[in-house]
Structure 1
Amino acid sequence: MFRELYRSTEPVRVDPIPIDGEPPTLPRVAVAVRAGDEVLGSIWAVLDGPHDGPLDDRTADSLRDAAKLTALHLLRVRAGSDVRRRVRTDLLSTALEGGTGAREALERLGLGRHAVVVLGVTARGEDGERSVAGDVVEASERERLSDAFALHLQSAHPASAVALVGDVAYGLLPCGPDGEERAERVARAFADKVGRRSPVVAAVGPVAPDVRGIARSREVVDRVLRVLRGARPGVPVARMSDVQAASLVLELRDLVAARGDELVGPLARLREYDTEHGPELVGTLRAWLDAFGDVTAASAAEFVHPNTFRYRLRRVGQVSGIDLDDPEARFGAMLQLRVLLGGS
């Protein structure tokens, strides 16, 4: 029925629908509200009395005229909303960059005299094939998320400001001495509400006492969001103090990729051995390091008998030459596993 409604420029009749244990619904007629090829919505009306035949011309003309008037009204409202949204986004973007116009932008946003906390909210990243239709849906969902986040921050502080920049909804929340803690509570409450329908992640930056601190706070938010997007589900909100180690690992991976560094040394020998004889030794070393040397726990993680695991661990030392009793060698192996081999 909806496919027919959105394809047609004419009113569409909707027959009564039987409901278990209840009388059937009343007959209805609906017409799509259009702006060119875009469907903005629809108008529905209940038909009073028996209407078995086609709609009379007067009713059909009334619905068509109402749809045209409603389309003009919706376009006018949307145009005004889009202008306000763009202005607010430009002002907030300027404030977040911390350039020469940041102070004026904050004044126009009504935040010139406040210390603020920068918050960032975005959908949890998911890999998959992309399409034009999918991008359109995602863009719409991002706008809805930003609008919902703006309402949420408004309830926390009337002077707060939110704008969608890229795929992140950034918010400036005026704060006091407990700014980060309060902002985290606000972000967690929002993630709990919205996360029931779509998984989101939220980051809280450090308190920015002045204009110069806002750009720094935004940078921290971006780094935290990057960690959260790749983190396992169940970690929707974080500050830098929660994810600093993971953030540093990501930055090291960026540096290694930019320089084109390749794996060399003991770990390279292990990987070559695994390529020739089967993937055993790199996984054995990773499990042993993750279990802090506990063979029982590490063998359980690899689903092998402890004696088999001990044999493989001896082979790790023989093939690679790593001295597993040396803390520096262990740290170097852990770092290479996470940065160069993508270990968690």
Structure 2
Amino acid sequence: MPVSDVFPKAGEPSATMSATLRDLVHALRLITDVRLLGAADPELAVRTHVILDAASLAAEALPEEVGAGLVVLTGDAPGQLVALADDLAARSPGAILLRDPGVPVPEVLLAGAVVVVPRGPEWSALLAEALRVVVEPRRHDVGSARLNRALAEHTDLFDVAKALGVATGTLISIEDERARVMAFSPYSDQADPIRRLAILGREPPQWHVEQLRSERVYDRLRVPGATVELPEAGEVRRRLGIGMADPTTGVYLGTIWAQETDVPFGPELEDHLVGAARYAARLVSQARQIHSVSTELVQRLLAPEGPGSGDDVPQLRVREPASFALIGIEAVDDDRAAEWLLSSEAVALLSMRAVSLAEQALVAPYGARLYVLAPGPADPARDVAWAERTVAHLQAQRHAGFRAAVSSSASAGSVRAARAEIERVCARTAPSAARPVVTLDSDRTAVLLAECLEALPRAALLDDERFRTLVEYDGRSSIDLLETARVWLRVHGEFGPAAQALTTHQNTVRYRIGRLESLAGYDLADPDDRLLLALQLRLHDQS
């Protein structure tokens, strides 16, 4: 049976826009042992995927959509793979992903690539990781190769973890200050449950983190150069950890953990950890400085005193884009959501989403909003659609209200003018669940009307004796004449629709409007009186 394994155990993922077979195998080999069988082209683009259940297909024909993408074959019976082999090969799939069938893979399938992963309880997590690489290749790139290239051309945190693991005979994982896994050494069958769950879930189990906090482990890791040992407990193997500190500020950046294998900890492990912690801290610090430079760039362009269109920002050596989209996102009536929106976690999340809008998109907080600056030709429909998807994602993830406003070089000219336009629209439109994204074009009437109301002599209009009479009457009566007038004017003086909106009878509405006219002296058959009362009601509502 021909077998080809052209991928190294650890290597750079491809930087292509579509995920490749190399990307897929690289991502899975960081987690588990992967065999690649058959004729494999490392640069094969894997743009689509189909999940097939071998058991259900035993009595059914293969679906027509099976094509030259990734075919994920589920099901446990080895005989089913043999039975499906001819039909599956005839569809010329780009690659097949399956659990180890326990029997030789049929020869006919080896004309293409077959990716075989071990059997075990981690199958669902491995499948999720594979689909994440295929479905979100840009996000996959942001999380690895793109950031790694920004850190340094010759090394990254995965290199540190791999080198440290080889030097010490241990399994290494590098976590940030919130215990999220940033990098880890290659797969080993000696990984204990904590390590497996941490890598598959991108962070250790919550109960484990809480236990370490209760035992003040993280407090001890904040002491520069100090190592902390966690003893073996059941299936959880012995660990030695050391904190990483920012080389300039001394701020805690995270932890390097070394898990013991069948080879006991050696006498030089602590020295290796100290050196690795200093070096890894430098890489993490560099990455955050790169992020802070991008943040400063956007903030300078957004600032009222920032550079004009086409002007250079000397310290950053960049030029404002000639055309762009600017999207501002804000929380709605939720202080905790507003605080989170300005955090580094929110910036990272929006940065990953923004690359689908523009490859060179930049994200930064400014004022109470998080802004996305996407250089490139303006496309209002595309920008609004992206903003709607992003707001929906944030609301589902954070269980809070958010909304967005969109501007562009086409409508505003410069970045700071676009930011001013976004502030103008947000300040003069009320948040609405039905319309989570606003623009000046779609909300121009509401914006201009609000600005007209701001320019009116508020005190004089509200001090009108007729209007004060209505306010005082409503204050001592159960009949709400102001609300009746507000609804009646909104439906253009139609009694039927007003009665329906107020859930009362038409005659009741007629009586209240008549009572309002006789009490206050308005003549609501006069268009000028109607306009004046409508403006007074708007101003009263605002106050």
Task: State the TM-score, normalized to the length of structure 2.
Answer: 0.48
Greater gyration radius: 2
Residues 323 and 329, structure 1, Cα contact 8 Å, conserved in 2? yes
Q: Which residue of 1 aligns with 2:404?
A: 202
Higher mean C-alpha deviation, range 110-119 or range 280-289: 110-119
Classify 1:205/1:6 alpha carbon distance in 2 versus 1 (closer, same or farther; 3 Å): same
Given the alignment of the two structures, is residue 125 of structure 1 paired with residue 326 of structure 2, yes or no?
Answer: no
User: How many angstroms does 1:315 deviate by?
Assistant: 0.6
Given the alignment of the two structures, is residue 143 of structure 1 paired with residue 344 of structure 2, yes or no?
Answer: yes
User: How many angstroms does 1:288 deviate by?
Assistant: 0.9
Structure 1 segment 135-284 matched on structure 2, within 5 A:
138-139=339-340, 142-176=343-377, 179-198=379-398, 199-208=401-410, 213-227=414-428, 230-251=430-451, 263-265=462-464, 266-284=466-484
Partners of 1:156 and 1:271 lie apart in 2 by: 51
Residues 250 and 339, structure 1, Cα contact 8 Å, conserved in 2? no
The runs of 5 or more residues in structure 1 that have no matched partner are 17-25, 50-56
User: How many angstroms does 1:186 deviate by?
Assistant: 3.0
Residues 342 and 365, structure 2, Cα contact 8 Å, conserved in 1? no
Classify 1:276/1:209 alpha carbon distance in 2 versus 1 (closer, same or farther; 3 Å): closer
Q: Which residue of 2 aligns with 1:319?
A: 519
Q: Which residue of 2 aligns with 1:94?
A: 300
User: Which one has a larger percent helix, Structure 1 or Structure 2?
Assistant: 1
Partners of 1:252 and 1:209 lie apart in 2 by: 21
Residues 116 and 173, structure 1, Cα contact 8 Å, conserved in 2? yes
User: How many angstroms does 1:220 deviate by?
Assistant: 0.9
Task: State the TM-score, normalized to the length of structure 1.
Answer: 0.72
Classify 1:159/1:316 alpha carbon distance in 2 versus 1 (closer, same or farther; 3 Å): same
Residues 5 and 32, structure 1, Cα contact 8 Å, conserved in 2? no
Residues 31 and 42, structure 1, Cα contact 8 Å, conserved in 2? no
Residues 207 and 217, structure 1, Cα contact 8 Å, conserved in 2? yes
Which of 274, 280, 285 is 1:79 aligned to? 285
SS of the aligned residue for 2:356 comes to: helix
User: How many angstroms does 1:272 deviate by?
Assistant: 1.0
Residues 120 and 169, structure 1, Cα contact 8 Å, conserved in 2? yes
Residues 279-315 of structure 1: per-residue CA shift (max 9 Å, x gap): 5111111121122222222223223232222211111
Residues 117 and 174, structure 1, Cα contact 8 Å, conserved in 2? yes
Residues 322 and 329, structure 1, Cα contact 8 Å, conserved in 2? yes
Q: Which residue of 1 aligns with 2:212?
A: 5
Corresponding letter in the other structure for 2:345: R
Corresponding letter in the other structure for 1:320: A
Residues 33 and 70, structure 1, Cα contact 8 Å, conserved in 2? no
Q: Which residue of 2 aligns with 1:285?
A: 485
| Amino-acid identity (%) | 22
Partners of 1:292 and 1:324 lie apart in 2 by: 11
Greater relative contact order (Cα < 8 A, sep 6+): 1
User: How many angstroms does 1:253 deviate by?
Assistant: 5.8
Q: How many residues align?
A: 314
Partners of 1:268 and 1:319 lie apart in 2 by: 11
Cα RMSD (Å): 4.1
User: How many angstroms does 1:245 deviate by?
Assistant: 2.7
Partners of 2:379 and 2:257 lie apart in 1 by: 48
Corresponding letter in the other structure for 2:422: V
The runs of 5 or more residues in structure 2 that have no matched partner are 1-206, 218-227
Given the alignment of the two structures, is residue 332 of structure 1 paired with residue 499 of structure 2, yes or no?
Answer: no
Residues 83-107 of structure 1: per-residue CA shift (max 9 Å, x gap): 2233223322222346474411399
User: How many angstroms does 1:240 deviate by?
Assistant: 0.6
Residues 242 and 255, structure 2, Cα contact 8 Å, conserved in 1? yes
Residues 293 and 316, structure 2, Cα contact 8 Å, conserved in 1? no
Corresponding letter in the other structure for 1:244: R
Q: Which residue of 1 aligns with 2:15?
A: none
Residues 109 and 161, structure 1, Cα contact 8 Å, conserved in 2? no
SS of the aligned residue for 1:196 comes to: helix
SS of the aligned residue for 1:145 comes to: helix
